[in-house]
Structure 1
Amino acid sequence: MTLQHNEAVLGLDIGTTSLKAVLFGQRGIVLASSTIEYPLSHSKPDYAEQDPEQILQAVVGSIREVRSQEKSKGYAIKAIGFSTAMHSLIAMDSDDNPLTKAIVWTDNRSLRQADKLKQELGGHEIYMRTGTPIHPMSPLSKILWMKEEAPELFAKTKMYAGIKEFILHRLFGTYVSDYSIASATGLLRLETMEWDQEVLDLLGISKEQLPELVPTTHVLTGMVPAYALEMGIPPGTPFVVGASDGVLANLGVAATGPGEVAVTIGTSGAIRTVTDKPVTDEKGRTFCYAFVDHKWVVGGPTNNGGIMLRWLRDQFASPEIEVAKKLGIDPYDLMIQYAEKVPAGSEGLLFLPFLTGERAPYWNANARGTFFGISLRHQREHFIRAVLEGVVLSIFSVGVALRELTGPAKEIIASGGFARSAVWRQILSDVMGKELLVPEVADASAMGAAVLALYAIGDIDSLAEIRSWVRITHRHKPDLKNSEVYLQLYYMYERLYEKLKDEFDIMAEFQRSGGFGTTLE
């Protein structure tokens, strides 16, 4: 059983800076879509927050917009599935009003608490039990920050919720957290799939302050009528709680089998594969998050993806912007045309893309960006290509850890904004040394959410149905000469990180405080 010609399913992807709603018909054909952006505020150094009410309105508005686009065709929406960015945290009071904004994954205010967890509070053992690396991104570190730095706020908090839990509570009046999002908090024990009591005791909170745990296929019905009316959908429309954006991106590109690896590069980046049991890393390099029964997603995120090219454009590419305007093309396209002229390895220019710190595999919020090997011969195009290569090398560094834990990749499937660039795709294939498949996907996480929703309501018997939805549009075979160049660059990339690690700490402190707290000798 699957969608009929007059039926559709809606996938919602609540991202860090925007929400995408995509309505899919038979075989994954896109019937309508809507994108609504919302701001990310930085009220203090290291803070990154969003207004949860604004995101709720984006959910309502996007569904209303999609419904409006296809209304004349009369499609019946069988279900709505949720995909959400991980690691957000909102403190709620006893009247279910937010005491804080949504503190998102890029927020680094709990850096001191993350270090304390690692060095004094058994952080590695917590990671091995929960699958979430110790880092300021995680709700674990954020709650500890509240306890230590904002005790009045900590005392007033009735419920700790993420953005998905907040939205679903507003729509349905219940706090539920799917196992996928919950397993990215640092509070869920993978072995039992329950909140980890040892972690809760360490934080001084109770299970009653956390949402009810439910499978990613959990279905909610009976929405608050006013919201259903505003969205233009029947109140009984099934809402499937869904999973995290990373987990669903794998499903959305059909990378769910043994040896199938998904690479996503949007604002940030990630590499992931699916396993049939939880896998954590003694070296602490990767995450392990729940998916569906007996399926887990193992991999790692990098902080610095397409945002690196945007930084380069905004700060250094004003000539390209002016030329692109005159030619009527995207400045990014012109920049990448320049990069295409430069051979693999950027003629000895290497970029460590740590402008916003780094998550996997180093989990070092103090890491800083570095160009290495600059000489008089290097021009604008060399820097552009070095940035493209550096982003891919950061993905490869996680891929090395993933290969050690789960075995070699048989197939690599790529998605995200970077996939629009043939040059960038080829660099990824060359660095990975594997053929790269690029599907035609409107939004991998939204598609994954839609397919999971159909599976949850029993409309399809297997998630393998996604394979009939995914159409491969590009294939790239690695240039083995380039692969050898990149392998040598990767070894240098690793050595440079290790040699600069202490200097990163000193420079990060200087940037935060405006002075050197450590004597430079």
Structure 2
Amino acid sequence: MRGWTGKALSIPTGYRKSKGKGLMGVNILALEVSTSSAKAMIYSFEKGIRGVLSVPYKDTVNDVVSQDPEGIYQAVIECARALIERENCEIDAIGLGSTWHSVLFLDRERKPIGRIKTWASTEAAPTAGRYRKDEQLKRWFYQRTGCMVHSIYPVWKYLHAKQQGQLDPEGYLSSQPEYVFERLTGQTGVSRSIASGTGFMNIHTLEWDQEILDFAGLKVSQLAPLYELDHTAPLSQEAASKLGLKAGIPVTLPGPDGALNQVGAGAMGQGIMTMSVGTSGALRVASPVPVLPDDPSTWCYYVAEGKRLAGAATSGAGNCVEWFGKKLNLGNVSYRALDELASKVDIQDAPVFLPFLYGERCPGWEDSRTGGFVGLKPHHEIGHLHYAILEGILFNLYQCYVVLEQLMGAPREIKISGGIENSRWWLQMAADIFQREIYTSSVEHASTMGAIAVALKAIGVIKSLEEFNPSQGERIVPNESMAKVYTKRFERYMEWYYKTANRGE
């Protein structure tokens, strides 16, 4: 299906009518629960994107590393209801999106024990670090799950909390997406896509891994049942009343933002790499089989329809830019003005920034690694520092790109999305560093559109997620004259990357 943008779609032949009405009357509500905000979108075949609304979480609800579960749910309800009232249209299905790698501990009555621990939480780093020293265990775990022994993954958060005596031994494991789904429908369930990022699921069989569960001391009954992304449950009467909708509307299981971005970008086909540079960063390529190198420098998760995602993720991206803008710059200079200042610096004189303020994921998986500037000199100003941050974020992603290219070959196409699209200058830097043509997304809110595609499949409007194939966005062409400059800069970055390894352990 080509040309999926914010505009209305041409109707493919052979697709069924939904609920006895024409496809033009189908409206999908997508709800995305991100790290920093709740987002709602209503999409119709007749009008395209009818409306989008985002509600940032209150500081008491979210501090990046943890979230209040009920506060998150109420933010989703508030955001969705406001958009539904504004657009005043019938909703045929609800698609859900969320983040990967969160965990929420429940007691035996399924009540939350404390807050949601997000992907950014590194409190389990000491526990994960001890297990990671066992090379045999590390490789055994990685080859079964596609996940590394690292504090980002719920299995290690669980083991750490268990050792700290924080759990009800007869309680349950949930997560940010599972909690929202359960509150909306009253039913339990988790998509294999979300589960593939927990460390508890076998990436080959796509079922909970009994050997991993035995290792962790966990029963299958303490986990939610596994389903495909397009599995649905009816909207409960209680949730329907809060949203102002009819009870019984199908609600899909939440998909993780990274997987939904792959769907929304039209990148389920072979050889298409997506690059996300938002709060964190990631590179992903769909594969028909698990991709698991001997050296666990990358990860392998599940999307849907038998497709795995081979990829790499970085913990530092937009969060580093925001840290600098708010904590050091104190909001005195706008991001646009910072870009302008950074564009004028002598690149070869700029300091190096190691973007590990939130630890390291790929390729080194050193969750206790710290970040910062190196090579600072008295004449360096705010523009030099901002430049170094943007460059360091992309260098960490380029590290990962080199590994993935060795594993799977060079991608035939790279599609980029995220906050980086707000900076034309930063986009050009990405093309110059990678020395590849890079395409921006023609689909606004790609991961949210991925949730809409899943809902459309769930109600039978489309047959396969691979049919979602948007047109190309803007093409960013690399400046070949910058290749040598960035090669030298990357060598300097890597020199400091190795010099600062293992400092936190």
TM-score (norm 2): 0.91
**Does the aligned pair in 2 maintain the 1:242–1:453 contact within 8 Å?**
no
Corresponding residue SS for 2:91: strand
The counterpart of 2:192, out of the listed 153, 176, 179, is 179
1:15 is matched with which residue? 34
> Structure 1 residues 427, 499: closer, same or farther in 2, change over 3 A?
same
Corresponding residue SS for 2:100: coil
Indicate whether 1:310 and 2:322 are aligned: yes
**Does the aligned pair in 2 maintain the 1:188–1:195 contact within 8 Å?**
yes
The counterpart of 2:51, out of the listed 25, 32, 45, is 32
Q: For structure 2, which runs of at least 5 residues remain unmatched after alignment?
A: 1-14, 17-21
Rounded Cα–Cα distance in structure 1 between residues aligned with 2:47 and 2:109: 41
**Does the aligned pair in 2 maintain the 1:22–1:30 contact within 8 Å?**
yes
**Does the aligned pair in 1 maintain the 2:97–2:451 contact within 8 Å?**
yes
1:499 is matched with which residue? 499
1:488 is matched with which residue? 488
2:394 is matched with which residue? 392
Rounded Cα–Cα distance in structure 2 between residues aligned with 1:26 and 1:172: 26
TM-superposed CA distance for 1:487, in Å, is 2.4
1:54 is matched with which residue? 71
TM-superposed CA distance for 1:23, in Å, is 1.2
2:177 is matched with which residue? 164
> Structure 1 residues 35, 406: closer, same or farther in 2, change over 3 A?
same
Rounded Cα–Cα distance in structure 2 between residues aligned with 1:392 and 1:495: 16
Indicate whether 1:83 and 2:91 are aligned: no
Counterpart code for 1:334: A
More helix by share: 1
TM-superposed CA distance for 1:6, in Å, is 2.9
The counterpart of 1:125, out of the listed 132, 135, 140, is 140
Structure 1 residues 254-288: Cα deviation after superposition (integer angstroms, max 9, x where no partner) = 12222211111111111111111111222111111
Structure 1 residues 275-313: Cα deviation after superposition (integer angstroms, max 9, x where no partner) = 111112221111111111221111111111112222222
Rounded Cα–Cα distance in structure 2 between residues aligned with 1:97 and 1:42: 17
Corresponding residue SS for 1:402: helix
2:274 is matched with which residue? 262
Corresponding residue SS for 1:261: strand
Structure 1 residues 102-127: Cα deviation after superposition (integer angstroms, max 9, x where no partner) = 11111111111101221248122111
Rounded Cα–Cα distance in structure 2 between residues aligned with 1:187 and 1:40: 31
Indicate whether 1:98 and 2:112 are aligned: yes
**Does the aligned pair in 2 maintain the 1:23–1:31 contact within 8 Å?**
yes
Query: How many residues in Structure 1 have an aligned counterpart in Structure 2?
Result: 485
Counterpart code for 2:423: S
Once the two structures are superposed, the pairs formed by residues 135-284 of structure 1 within 5 Å of their partners are: 135-150=150-165, 153-221=166-234, 223-284=235-296
Counterpart code for 2:497: Y
Rounded Cα–Cα distance in structure 1 between residues aligned with 2:75 and 2:170: 25
Counterpart code for 2:82: E
**Does the aligned pair in 2 maintain the 1:91–1:161 contact within 8 Å?**
yes
Percent identity between matched residues is: 30
TM-superposed CA distance for 1:380, in Å, is 2.6
Rounded Cα–Cα distance in structure 2 between residues aligned with 1:346 and 1:312: 21
Corresponding residue SS for 1:122: helix
Rounded Cα–Cα distance in structure 2 between residues aligned with 1:407 and 1:358: 24
Rounded Cα–Cα distance in structure 1 between residues aligned with 2:84 and 2:192: 29
Rounded Cα–Cα distance in structure 2 between residues aligned with 1:425 and 1:78: 37
Rounded Cα–Cα distance in structure 2 between residues aligned with 1:401 and 1:280: 12
TM-superposed CA distance for 1:47, in Å, is 9.4
RMSD: 2.2
> Structure 1 residues 488, 41: closer, same or farther in 2, change over 3 A?
farther
2:7 is matched with which residue? none
Segment drifting more, 452-461 vs 307-316:
307-316
TM-score (norm 1): 0.88
Indicate whether 1:64 and 2:81 are aligned: yes
**Does the aligned pair in 2 maintain the 1:439–1:472 contact within 8 Å?**
yes
Rounded Cα–Cα distance in structure 2 between residues aligned with 1:336 and 1:123: 41
Counterpart code for 2:322: R
